[in-house]
Structure 1
Amino acid sequence: MQFIGLMSGTSADGIDAALVDFADGQCRLVHSLTHPWDADLRERLIALGQGGELQSLDEYGTLDVQVAEAFAAAAQALLRQANVDSSAVLAIGSHGQTIRHRPSGAAFDGMYPFTLQIGDPNVIAERTGITTVADFRRRDVAAGGQGAPLVPAFHAALLGDATEDRAILNLGGIGNLTLLPRDGEVRGFDTGPANALMDAWCQLHTGNAYDDCGAFAASGTVDADLLQRWLSDGWFALPPPKSTGREQFHLNWVSAQLRGHENPADVQATLLALTVITVADALKAHQPTTQRVLVCGGGTRNSVLMQALRDALPGVSVQTTSELGIDSDAMEAMAFAWLAMRTLLGQPGNLQAVTGATGPRILGSIHQP
C-alpha cells in the first residue's frame, strides 16, 4: 500500500514528492523531498501560467515531455533516498504542472471551461516502471466543477476532528481553505493570491526567488489605499465554489493598481496583508466558529506571514500541520498519492460541495508501465 504523490503548484518552486504508506487504513509519510526545476524550464512554466502563449504545437509537445521527465526524475530521486525499490510502489499520483486554469464561473465566461496540466504520464510510467495516475482535474471540470481544490477530501480524511471546528489553510502560490466543521459538510475553496505574487515581486526587486522569513515585507509598511484597490477586484466577491491561478493574479495585475511612486518594500508588505485579509475574511464569512487553523505549504516558512495570520485571527489557534506530525511541505504531494489510491480502488476523489461538480467522480487516468 505504498504510493508516490508528485505535486508542483502555482509557484513552480519545485516538484514535491512524497512516498506514503496507506497500510491498515493509516497514512504514514515514509519519505519526502523537493526536486528542483531546471531554471529555464521553470521560467517558461511561470510565463505560461500567467497568460503567456505557446508558439506552436511542437513547443507544447516538447514541454509536455520535459515536465514529465522532471516529474519522473523526482520520483526516482525519492526512491533512492528512501532506499525503496520501485516494485514496492503500487502507483504514482502525478498532479502535473498547470499551465492554464479556466473553469466555469464569473471569472471566466467562455463556453468551454477547461483546466490544463502538462507532464505526460506515459513518460512517467515508462521511466519509473510504476503505474501512474494523472489528469485528476479535468473530469471534475467536465462534471461542471472548478477542478479545484481537490485536496479537501484528503484533509477531511486525515485531519477531521469531531471535537472542534477546524480549517486547513494551504499557503502555496494561491491560498486555499478546507473547512472541517465538527458536525457539518466539508467545504473548500481558493482565497486568492499567496506566495505566487509575493515571490514574483520579491524576485523582481531583490533578485531573490522568495522573501526569506518575510524580511522584505517586514521592512515595508502596508499601503491601505493600495490594499483596497486590490480588494476591489470582483473575484474576491465571488461566492464559493471558486478557484483561481496565475491567469488571474500576476505581476501585471499588481502593477495595474500602482500609482508609480510606491516603495517596493511597501508593496511587498501590502501583498502579504492581502493574503492575510482574504484568508481571515473567508474564515469569518464561511466558518466563523473556527477554533483551530492548521497551515501547510511554503508559506509556513514565512514567519512574518504566520504572525500576521495569528494577529488577524484572535482567539483562534494557528499552527502548522508539522506541529501535529504531518510535514507541511509534503501535504499536497501526499494528497495526490491518496487520490491515486482512490482512483485504483474505484472511489471518487472530489467533493461536490467543494468544487461544485454535479456529483462525486472517480478522477484521473491510469497508465500502466
Structure 2
Amino acid sequence: MTYCIGLMSGTSMDGIDAALVQFDEHGHPTLTAHHSIEIPPPLLAELHRLCTPNDKEIDRMGRADRAIALAFAEAVHNLLAKAEVRADEVAAIGSHGQTVRHMPDGPHAFTLQLGCPSTLAAATGIDVVADFRRKDIALGGQGAPLVPAFHQALFAGAQPRFILNIGGIANLTCLPGDKSAVMGFDTGPGNTLMDAWARERFNQPFDDDGAIAASGQVNEVLLQRLLSHPYFAQPAPKSTGRELFNASWLWGHLETDANLPAEDVMATLLALTVQSIATSVRQHTQQGELYLCGGGAFNSELRRTLQLALPDFTLTTTDALGLPSKWVEATAFAWLAWRHLNGLPGNLPAVTGASREAVLGGWYPAA
C-alpha cells in the first residue's frame, strides 16, 4: 500500500482541499482522509488581483507563489494530524497549484500555477510532484482538463456515463463504456461568474445554494448575448479559464442592461452555466447518466435547473460511484502523483490534444 496526498485549490479559490489517498499494488485509489482550509483573506485578495493583469504583478506573483505554498503546507499538516499518519509514511504530495493564467492557444501557449513546490516540500518534509500541466502543453496539448484520465480509471463502467465537474470553470468527461476514446473538455463558466456577481452586488463570496438565482428571472436577451461567445461553438480539444470568462467580460455585456435587477443577472448567469453544459452533453447523446462533482454539485438550484435542461438523464453525484463529490479533484492529483512515481502517463491526448501520452509533473524531493 502507498499513500499519496492530493492538493487542489480551484478557479473559485474557495479553499484548499487536501486528500489522503491509499493505493494498492494495482494503483487503485481509496480516499482515506480529507481536509479543507480557507485561503487566508489577504492572500485570497492578492490571488484574485493576480488574475487580472496590472503593474508590479511579477513581484507580487513571486511572493504569492511562496505564500500559497505555505498555505498548502498547513493543509497537509492538518490532514496528517487528522488522519494520524506520519509525514514519512506519505510517498508524495501531488499539488495542482493555484492557476493564475491559462493561455493554451497560440504559438507560445502557457499555463501558470502558483504554489512553489520546493517550499511545499521543505515545509512538509514530503516529496512533491507538481507542475502537471506544462508537459502536456509542451506536447501541443491544452494542458487541461487533466481529470478525465482519472475519471476513466475510477468511474468507467459498462454503460456510457458523464462526469461533470462544476468548479469555477465546468469540465465534462464522456466515458463511452466501450473501447472508444474518452472525451473531455471545459464547457465554459461554472461558478466563476456567479461568484464574481455575488461579491460585487451582494457582498457574499458565492450564491449559497443558488438562493439569489432562484429569486430572479432569466433575461433571455442577456443570456443569448453571453452565449454568443465563440468559445461555446469551438470544437474540442479546448480549455478555458478566467482569462476569457471574468468580471470585466461580464460588465461589458451589462453596459446596455445597467438597470437589470441584480437577482435577474444572477439567474441569467446560472442559466449560462446550465445551458452551456447541457448543449455540450447533448452533442454526445440525448440520454444517460450524469454524475456531478465540484462546488456546483452542492447548488440545489443549479442541479434543479440542469435536470430540467436534461430531462432524459439520471442526475446524481459521484458519491453514488464511491467517491464524495467534493473530493474528486484532490484525489485525482494524488492519483497523478502516484502515476508520476510509477513512470506512468497522466494525460489523455484525445482530451487535451497533446501529440502523445506523457508522465506529467516534476519531482521536488524533500530531502
Displacement of 1:64 in angstroms is 1.0
Decide which of 170, 179, 184 is 1:175's aligned counterpart. 170
| Contact 1:7 1:17 (C-alpha < 8 Å) held by counterparts | yes
* Residue in structure 2 matched with residue 60 of structure 1 by the alignment: 61
Q: TM-score, normalised by structure 2?
A: 0.96
Q: Measure, in 2, the Cα distance between the counterparts of 1:159 and 1:186.
A: 12
1:227-284 Cα offsets, whole Å, 9 max, x none, are 0000011111110010111111111111111221111100000000000000110011
Shift of 1:168: 0.2
Partner of 2:358: helix, strand, or coil? Answer: coil
Residue 290 of structure 1, CA deviation: 4.6
Residues 94-173 of structure 1 aligned to structure 2 (within 5 Å): 94-104=95-105, 109=106, 111-162=107-158, 164-173=159-168
SS state of the match for residue 112, structure 1?
A: coil
- Structure 2: how far apart are the matches of 1:341 and 1:178? 21
Q: In the aligned structure 2, how far is the partner of 1:242 from the partner of 1:295?
A: 20
Which secondary structure state, in structure 2, belongs to the residue aligned with residue 191 of structure 1?
strand
Matching of residue 35 in structure 1 with residue 31 in structure 2: no
> 1:166 touches 1:290 (CA, 8 Å); kept in 2?
no
1:152-174 alpha-carbon deviations (Å, 9 max, x no partner): 00000000001x11000000000
**Any idea what SS the aligned residue of 1:167 has?**
strand
Q: Report the Cα distance in structure 1 between the residues aligned to 2:88 and 2:181, rounded to whole angstroms.
A: 38
- Report how many residues are paired: 361
Taking the TM superposition and a 5 Å limit, the aligned residue runs for 1:216-365 are 216-258=212-254, 259-285=257-283, 287-288=284-285, 290-365=287-362
Task: Identify the residue that residue 69 of structure 1 maps to in structure 2.
Answer: 70
Calculate percent identity across the aligned residue pairs.
50
Change (3 A) 1:290 1:151: farther
- Structure 1 unmatched ranges of 5 or more: none
1:182 Cα deviation (Å)?
1.1
Indicate the residue corresponding to 1:21 in structure 2: 22
8 A contact 2:161–2:288 mirrored in 1: yes
SS in 1 for 2:326: coil
Given that residues 167 and 290 in structure 1 are in contact (C-alpha distance below 8 angstroms), is that contact kept between their aligned partners in structure 2?
no
Q: Is the 8 A contact 1:165 1:289 kept in 2?
A: no
- Kept in 1, the 8 Å contact 2:157–2:177? The answer is yes
- 2:59, 2:229 → 1: CA distance? 36
Does the 8 A contact of 2:347 with 2:358 survive in 1? yes
Distance 1:68 1:102 in 2: 22
RMSD between aligned residues: 1.1
1:115, 1:273 → 2: CA distance? Answer: 29
CA–CA distance in 2 between the matches of 1:273 and 1:194? 10
In structure 2, runs of 5+ residues without a counterpart are none
Post-superposition CA distance 1:122-149 (Å, at most 9, x none): 0111111111000000010111000000
SS of 1:329 mapped into structure 2: helix
In the TM superposition, residue 56 of structure 1 has moved relative to its aligned partner by 5.3
Q: Structure 1 residue 210: deviation in Å?
A: 1.0
Q: Aligned residue for 1:48?
A: 50
Q: C-alpha displacement at 1:323, in angstroms?
A: 3.0
Q: Aligned partners of 2:275 and 2:85: how far apart in 1?
A: 43
What does the per-residue CA deviation read over 1:268-306, in whole Å, with 9 as the maximum and x for residues that have no partner? 000000000001100111x11551000000001100000
Contact 1:48 1:54 in 2 (8 A): no
Q: How many angstroms does 1:54 deviate by?
A: 5.3
Matched, 1:199 2:201: no
Which residue identity does 2:42 align to in structure 1? Answer: D
Q: TM-score, normalised by structure 1?
A: 0.96
- The residue that corresponds to 2:94 in the other structure is 93
8 Å CA contact 2:286–2:312 kept in 1: the answer is no
In structure 1, distance between residues paired with 2:278 and 2:95: 31
Deviations 1:303-357 (A, max 9, x none): 0000111111111101011233311111000000000010111111000000000
* Per-residue CA distance 1:158-210 (angstroms, 9 max, x = gap): 00001x11000000000000000112211100000011111110121111111
Structure 1 pair 272/348, CA: closer, same or farther in 2 (3 Å)? same
